[in-house]
Structure 1
């Protein structure tokens, strides 16, 4: 019962949004907790993380070099991975679906709301790529304890 109450509280604490081709969830969970959940959710699907880009660190490190003083993120990382089975399936339907591989999920904290963490991914087109989108959504929801 206690776990059910906790899960319900987390579900209330996370909000979903879809805008500009991005599906994202905002949660009160810490950045580190969301990253830990994401890494586990990806590997729980039997997938391997191919790479991680520290986008927030790169933008902060290079802001003066490009003539900016704006801090875009407190922290932001992008995780890249692929599913051989699912990628083969969607690319057999349309080889140009290669443009979507690898699949990416981002985790970020924004300066205007550093007590919340945003996790999300890009929207995919209708058709066979919706199966990939469903996988990414399941991974993201699992990472922040919505499933």
Structure 2
């Protein structure tokens, strides 16, 4: 009986989770097709965390621009950007654990829309720092808080 209860609890938890994990990427679909508003929500959420956006990489535009020379195929994105930012508290924890953990800095959040996806919902995702160390968990916490703030701007329909 305990195994059944455990299996049932795990099955229910997996079915209720709004987060999809592909490898170690945390991916969620926002309840909007308004990319411009979602983009503003991401930058505002980073600022609300007391951080500053260090750079924004227009990934979709880069793919479109380089296809003529590299012939890698058309971009699947309508819009695709990667927002980079740094939390000095997270960075200090990470590198105090191991100098090589500098590779997890800066933290990034990606935002995209697909050309061929019906309704063009906006997707938000991030790659958390690896492991279960205090620095990795602190980075995951910051990323989850930012994504949570963004999601609050786009509540599910009633």
Q: TM-score, normalised by structure 1?
A: 0.83
1:127 to 133, 148, 152: 133
Runs of 4+ residues over 4 Å off in structure 1: none
What is the RMSD computed on CA atoms of the aligned residues?
1.7
Q: How many residues align?
A: 133
The SS at the match of 1:139 is helix
Contact 2:29–2:123 under 8 Å retained in 1: yes
Q: Against the structure 1 CA distance between its residues 19 and 69, is the aligned structure 2 distance closer, same or farther, given a 3 Å change threshold?
A: closer
Aligned residue number for residue 139 of structure 1: 146
Matches within 5 A, 1:1-147: 15-29=18-32, 30-113=34-117, 115-124=120-129, 125-128=131-134, 129-145=136-152
Tell me how far apart the structure 2 counterparts of residues 59 and 141 of structure 1 sit (CA, whole Å).
Answer: 29
Q: Distance in 1 between matches of 2:132 and 2:22?
A: 16
Gaps of 5+ in 2: 1-17
Query: Is the radius of gyration larger for structure 1 or structure 2?
Result: 2
Q: CA deviation at 1:68?
A: 3.6
Aligned pair in 2 of structure 1 residues 68, 99: CA closer, same or farther (>3 Å)? closer
Mark the runs of 5 or more structure 1 residues left unpaired by the alignment.
1-14
Q: CA deviation at 1:48?
A: 0.8
Q: Counting strand residues as a fraction of each chain, which structure ranks higher?
A: 1
Aligned residues of 1:41 and 1:139 also touching (Cα < 8 A):
yes
Aligned partners of 2:115, 2:107: CA distance in 1, in Å? Answer: 26
TM-score for the superposition, normalised by structure 2: 0.77
Contact 2:39/2:111 (8 A) holds in 1: yes
Q: 1:145, 1:62 → 2: CA distance?
A: 36
Q: Name which structure has the greater RCO, CA cutoff 8 Å, separation 6+.
A: 1
